[in-house]
Structure 1
Amino acid sequence: MTRTPTIAPGEPGLAPVHKRRSHWRLLAQVLFTLALLAWLLHQTDWQALATRILQANPFWLLAASLAYACNLSISALRWQVILHALERRAPLPWLLRLNWVGAYFNQVLPGAVSGDVLRAWYTRHQTGATTLALGAVFGDRFIGLGALMAIAATAFLFGGQKVGLLPQMGWTIALLLCAYAAVVILILSPALQFLGTRAGRWGGKLHDIRLSMAALLRHRRDFALAAIISLAVQGLSILTFWLLARSLGEYPSAAAIWLVWPVISLFLALPISFAGWGLREGLMVFYLSHLGMSTDQALALSLLLGFTILLTSLPGALLWLTLCDPHPGRARL
Structure 2
Amino acid sequence: MKAWVKVSASAGCLAALLWWSDTTEVVQLLQDVDTTWVALSVLALTIATFSMASRWKIAAAAFDIHLSFPVALREYYLAQLINTVLPGGVVGDVTRAVRARTGSDLTRAAQSVMAERLLGQIAILGVMGAGFAVALLVPGGPEWAGLGWWVLVILIGGAAIAWQVAKRDTATGHFTRLVLRLMRQPAMILHGAITTASLILGFYACARATGVTIPIEALATLIPLVLCAMLIPLSVGGWGWREGAAAALFPIIGAPASAGIATGITYGVVVLVAALPAVAILLFQSFSENLSSKGKPDIP
Q: TM-score range by the shorter chain?
A: 0.7 to 0.9
Partner of 1:12: none
1:37 aligns with 2:37: no
Taking only the aligned residue pairs, the percentage that are identical comes to: 23
* Structure 1 residues 300 and 158: CA distance shift in structure 2, 3 A: same
* Structure 1 residues 244 and 166: CA distance shift in structure 2, 3 A: farther
Whole-angstrom CA distance in 2 between matches of 1:225 and 1:144: 13
Tell me which amino acid in the other structure corresponds to 2:127.
I
* Structure 1 residues 220 and 312: CA distance shift in structure 2, 3 A: closer
Q: How does 1:196-215 map to 2 (within 5 A)?
A: 207=171, 211-215=174-178
1:253 aligns with 2:215: yes
Correspondence for 1:308 among 270, 273, 277: 270
Q: Deviations over 1:266-299 (max 9, x none)?
A: 2322312222111111111111122211121111
Tell me which amino acid in the other structure corresponds to 1:225.
A
Tell me which amino acid in the other structure corresponds to 2:65.
R
Q: Which runs of 5+ in 2 are unaligned?
A: 290-300
Tell me which amino acid in the other structure corresponds to 2:130.
T
The CA deviation at 1:105 is: 0.9
Q: How does 1:68-79 map to 2 (within 5 A)?
A: 68-79=45-56
Specify the SS of the correspondent of 1:135: helix
Partner of 1:14: none
Partner of 2:118: 142
Tell me which amino acid in the other structure corresponds to 2:208.
R
1:157 aligns with 2:133: yes
CA contact (8 A) 1:86 1:212 kept: no
Q: How many residues align?
A: 284
The CA deviation at 1:164 is: 2.4
CA contact (8 A) 1:132 1:212 kept: no
Correspondence for 1:172 among 118, 128, 151: 151
Partner of 1:238: 200
Partner of 1:285: 247
The CA deviation at 1:265 is: 1.9
The CA deviation at 1:131 is: 0.8
Tell me which amino acid in the other structure corresponds to 2:157.
C
* Structure 1 residues 311 and 148: CA distance shift in structure 2, 3 A: same
The CA deviation at 1:167 is: 5.1
Partner of 2:167: 189
Q: How does 1:101-120 map to 2 (within 5 A)?
A: 101-120=78-97
Whole-angstrom CA distance in 2 between matches of 1:50 and 1:156: 32
Q: Deviations over 1:156-212 (max 9, x none)?
A: 1223443424652220232134235424532x2325x3xxxxxxxxxxxxx4x7645
Whole-angstrom CA distance in 2 between matches of 1:182 and 1:284: 29
The CA deviation at 1:151 is: 0.7
Partner of 2:259: 297
The CA deviation at 1:220 is: 7.0
Partner of 1:217: 180
The CA deviation at 1:302 is: 0.7
Specify the SS of the correspondent of 2:128: helix
Q: Taking structure 2 as the reference length, what is the TM-score of the superposition?
A: 0.86
Task: List, as ranges, runs of 4+ consecutive aligned residues in structure 1 with deviation greater than 6 Å.
Answer: none
Q: Deviations over 1:225-246 (max 9, x none)?
A: 2132112101000111121222
CA contact (8 A) 2:55 2:188 kept: yes
Partner of 2:234: 272
Tell me which amino acid in the other structure corresponds to 2:177.
A
* Structure 1 residues 317 and 182: CA distance shift in structure 2, 3 A: farther
* Structure 1 residues 295 and 166: CA distance shift in structure 2, 3 A: farther
Specify the SS of the correspondent of 2:102: helix
Q: Which runs of 5+ in 1 are unaligned?
A: 1-21, 194-206, 327-333
Tell me which amino acid in the other structure corresponds to 1:271.
P
Partner of 1:66: 43
Whole-angstrom CA distance in 2 between matches of 1:177 and 1:261: 19
Whole-angstrom CA distance in 2 between matches of 1:181 and 1:267: 22
